[in-house]
Amino acid sequence: MHGFPNLGHGIGLRTVHYREVVADRPAVDWFEVITENFTMPGGNPRRVLRAVRERYPVVLHGVSLSLGSVDPLNEAYLSDVAELAAETEPAWISDHLCFSSFGGHTGHDLWPLPYTEEALAHVSARIVRVQERLGRRILVENVSSYLRYAHSTVTEWEFLTALCHRADCGLLLDVNNVYVSAKNHGFDARTFLQGVPADRVGQIHLAGHSADGPLLLDTHDHPVCDDVWELYRDAVARFGPVSTLVEWDAQIPPLGRVIEETQRAAAIEAEVTASGTAVAFAPSQSWEASHAG
């Protein structure tokens, strides 16, 4: 088992909702916060976070670890995350399987990795160092991608499976990202769900996306679309009840509208679970075992 608690259904804590969240204590199970927005000590963000943490479970979701970069890990940033975690006591910490820095410069984007043995060894070692520094296992999220590397030797889901085993980390499964990447690259999204290790999925993300010509973009500025809701239904059947969060980061609507999305996720989970469709899957094979011979 992945060892991460099932918190239920939550939403992201966003600036436009601070006042309402603190004053009204909305009926959501938990909140996810963007780590970088709260690493500075003091000020209103930390005050709000402390108030929210008194009433709800909280998790930290970062965008700056740049786990796939060849630049050294940012030790100052890791110290900031460790300090924030000590104060907040999050249920877990997560970041993305990507790189966002090169040569000391940060691109403020989440670039995908080539899926090779060399990349696996590199990013696994970095995750191990991060987990040792933070004193806990982390969740690593699959990103949306808009290109593929000719040098990749395995699929994304095979790479994620190997990574979870080799680094002993968990997986934050972004269902919208699976859908976006599947449409962009022409693979079956349900094959992705079947291919990742059920025993490592500790959280699920849902979000809206937009289109730019032939590409789908992970913009988090729309409601979750019907196709992604159907894919989430398949995810619940595959993984069972898992902490699920709705991300909405641009063109953010009133808090009640975001809560409606998370309530829909809860209803789908309850329906699938009650139907008996949800099943347990055996732990997945390691990279070495699955590639033996």
pLDDT value, residue 150: 86
What are 5-33's pLDDT values in tens digits? 999 999 999 999 999 999 999 999 999 99
Whole-number pLDDT of residue 3: 87
DSSP string, 16-61: GGHHHHHHH--S-S-EEEEGGGS-SSSHHHHHHHHHHHTTS-EEEE
Give pLDDT, residue 157. Answer: 97
Q: What is the pLDDT of residue 6?
A: 97
Per-residue pLDDT, 288? 46
What is the 8-class DSSP label of residue 183? H
Pairwise CA distance, residues 160 & 145, whole Å: 14
pLDDT value of position 284:
45
CA distance 182 to 249: 22
E strands, the chain, are: 9-12, 31-34, 58-61, 93-96, 99-102, 105-111, 139-141, 170-174, 201-207, 210-212, 215-217, 244-247
Question: If 0-12 CB within 10 Å is exposed, 13-18 middle and 19+ buried, where does residue 251 land?
Answer: exposed
pLDDT at residue 218, as a whole number: 86
Give the pLDDT score at 292. Answer: 39
Amino acid 99: pLDDT: 63
Burial classification of residue 86, based on how many CB atoms lie within 10 Å of its CB (0-12 exposed, 13-18 middle, 19 or more buried): exposed
Residues of the chain scoring pLDDT < 50: 1, 280-293
Tell me the CATH architecture of domain 9-290: Alpha-Beta Barrel (3.20)
